A and B are shown apart, each in its own frame.
Chain A
C-alpha cells in the first residue's frame, strides 16, 4: 500500500534552532500534502495545505514565517520550524493525497522537543 515517510521521527534541540521535517510519498505522487500538529492527548489540528509548485495555504493562527513549508516536488514536502521555542514542542504529522478516490496517507509523525 501507499507509504508516507516522515523524517526525523524525534528531534530534541535548543531554543532558537531551526528544525526541518521531511515528508515523502514513497510510491505515489502526492499532489497535495497536509501538515498537522497534535498536542499531548489532543486531536490533530491542520496547520497548512501544501500543493506542489505553489505556496502553502496556512490555517488561521498559524504563523507562515515561523512554519515554512516547501513542496518542491510531487514526492517531497518539508516543514521548517524557524527559531524554535519551547512552545513549539509538539507532535507534527504530515499526510499526502494523490487523487479523490484515495484516502490521505499519514506519516508516522515527528516529535519535536525544544529545550
Chain B
C-alpha cells in the first residue's frame, strides 16, 4: 500500500536549535517526494522537492532534506530554527504529473524562546 508516515505528531524546539522532522514512505513506483508547510488557516507552501539526482536537496527558508532510498526516508532538517518556523509540516509522495499526492498526517512544530 502507498503511504507516508510522519512518526512525530508534535515537536517543540528551542529557537536557534536544530530541527529534524522524520518522514518514511511506501510507494510502488519511483517516488517524487515533497515537504510542505502550512500555517493555521492557510494553504500549503512548498519547502522543497526531490525528483532525482542529488539526494540532499535544498529548499526555501534554510530547510534541507535527504532522500535515503534504502531507508525509504525523506527527513527534513534545519540547522537553526526561528520562531516563525512554527507551523504544520507535511511530507508527501507522488508520481509524475497526473498523479495525486499522498500526504502524511503532519507534524506540528512549536518553537520555544
Contact = CB atoms under 8 A, between A and B. Distances in A.
B97 A32 contact: yes
Interface string B97-112: 1101111111000000
B43 A98 contact: no
A21 to B, nearest CB: 13
A106 B44 contact: yes
Interface residues of B, number: 23
A89 interface: no
B90 A109 contact: no
Contacts of A44: 44, 90, 101, 103
A75 interface: no
A31 interface: yes
A101 B44 contact: no
A34 interface: yes
A109 B51 contact: no
A100 interface: yes
Contacts of B90: 43-44
A68 to B, nearest CB: 19
A32 B41 contact: no
B43 A109 contact: yes
A102 B34 CA distance: 11
Interface centre among B36, B43, B98 (most CB of A within 10 A): B43
Given A43-B90, A43-B103, A97 B43 contact: no
Given A44-B90, A103-B49, A111 B41 contact: yes
A102 B43 CA distance: 18
Contacts of B41: 91, 109, 111
Given A6-B43, A99-B97, 18 more contacts: A32-B97, A43-B104, A43-B105, A45-B103, A93-B43, A93-B44, A97-B97, A100-B97, A102-B97, A103-B46, A103-B49, A104-B94, A106-B44, A108-B42, A108-B43, A109-B42, A109-B43, A111-B41
Interface of A: 6, 31-32, 34, 42-46, 49, 51, 91, 93, 95, 97-109, 111
Interface of B: 32, 34, 36, 41-46, 49, 51, 90, 94, 96-98, 100-106
